[in-house]
Structures are given as C-alpha cells and as structure tokens.
C-alpha cells in the first residue's frame, strides 16, 4: 500500500507551489469519484497524487530526465511537450515512488490525452485533473463537474470535447489520441 503522506512530502519539495496545490485537489477529487463509482479509494488517491509527478519545471528538465532514464519520446511528444510529463510521470511513479500497480501507472500515462475505452480508474484521473476545485472557471466546467458524479462516460465525452475545442482555438498541435478519445466517447 502506498504511503500517501510520504509521497506528499516528496512532491511538496519538487513541484511548484501551484502544481502541488493542484495535485492535492486531484488526489481528493479522485478519492470522491472513487467513492461515487465504486473504485478503490486509496488506489484512486495514489494515482491522483502522482498524476503530475513528472511535471517538473521547466519542461527542459523533463526532457533532460527522459534522456537520463532513456525514456524514448515520440515525434508527437517533441512537438507537444505538454505530453511528456505523463510518460515521465508513469516512469517516476514506478521507479522513484515504488508504485507497481499497472492500473495506477496507466492512469498517470493517459491522464493528459485520455484514450478510447478507458477503465474506471483512468476515467477518474482524467476527470479529476479537469474538475478539481482549484481549476479556473471556464464555460462547460460546472457541467463536467456534475456529470463526473452522475454519468461518467458522458463526462469524459464532454471533457474531451472541451479540451479539443480549447486546443483548436489556441491553434495548438493536437495529439491524435486526444481526438480518438473524443471520437470514441461521442
């Protein structure tokens, strides 16, 4: 069983203040969603706590660590550096935080893009990241917050739709998986 307090202490040291606050928000939101949908609460809280453990600042540091640990990055990941922390995070969760539950590692790996046919834990972390209480209010957020507790698949659909819309408006490069998540849940 993971020692949540010990992990919190480590993360408090390596993450920026806002990132750490977000991390706690995701941990507790994941716990609440687990209660609601019948997922193991501690598993969800562990995944929530560690979901951004690879989000070291600046992003060059993430790339440097990927080189150090020989984590190969795809062309898409070089084009969209925001994706790197998920892959690095899954690696660090296993190697540095001693998490060997594949479900937790996958939930960390897919939290940014989602993926088609996610398991319950993956959906919970994907949504908790989006809806945690510290998130800035944007149109659609109250709806996703409510749906996350009432109709989780619909929540994933709306969340991926909003994410896609945001990325398109910002003119950002979009990972094919982000689009596949939306297509699947639509």
Residues that bind Fe ion (CB under 5 A): 52, 129
- In three-state form (DSSP H/G/I as H, E/B as E, the rest C), the secondary structure along the chain is CCCHHHHHHHHHHHCCHHHHHHHHHHHHHHHHHHHHHCCCHHHHHHHHHHCCCCCCCCHHHHHHHHHHCCCCCCHHHHHCHHHHHHHHHHHHHHHCCCCCCHHHHHHHHCCCCCCCCCCHHHHHHHHHHHHCCCCCCCCCHHHHHHHHHHCHHHHHHHHHHHHHHHHHHCCCCCCHHHHHHHHHHC
Least distance between Fe ion and beta carbon 112 (Å): 5
Least distance between Fe ion and beta carbon 52 (Å): 4
**Nearer Cβ to Fe ion (1/89):** 89
**Nearer Cβ to Fe ion (38/114):** 114
Least distance between Fe ion and beta carbon 54 (Å): 8
**Nearer Cβ to Fe ion (19/37):** 19
**Nearer Cβ to Fe ion (107/147):** 107
Least distance between Fe ion and beta carbon 98 (Å): 21
């Amino acid at each position: 069983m993971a020692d949540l307090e010990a992990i919190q202490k480590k993360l408090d040291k390596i993450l920026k203040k806002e990132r750490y606050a977000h991390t706690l928000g995701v941990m507790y939101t994941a716990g609440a969603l687990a209660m609601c949908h019948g997922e193991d609460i501690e598993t969800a809280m562990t995944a929530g706590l560690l979901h951004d453990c690879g989000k070291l600042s600046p992003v060059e540091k993430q790339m440097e660590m990927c080189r150090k640990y020989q984590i190969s990055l795809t062309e898409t990941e070089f084009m969209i550096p925001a994706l790197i922390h998920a892959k690095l995070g899954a690696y660090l969760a296993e190697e540095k935080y001693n998490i060997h539950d594949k479900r937790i590692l996958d939930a960390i790996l897919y939290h940014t893009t989602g993926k088609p046919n996610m398991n319950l834990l993956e959906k919970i972390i994907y949504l908790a990241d989006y809806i945690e209480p510290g998130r800035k209010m944007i149109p659609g957020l109250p709806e996703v917050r409510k749906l996350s507790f009432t109709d989780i698949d619909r929540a994933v659909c709306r969340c991926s739709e909003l994410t896609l819309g945001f990325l398109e408006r910002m003119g950002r490069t979009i990972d094919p998986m982000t689009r596949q998540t939306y297509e699947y849940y639509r």
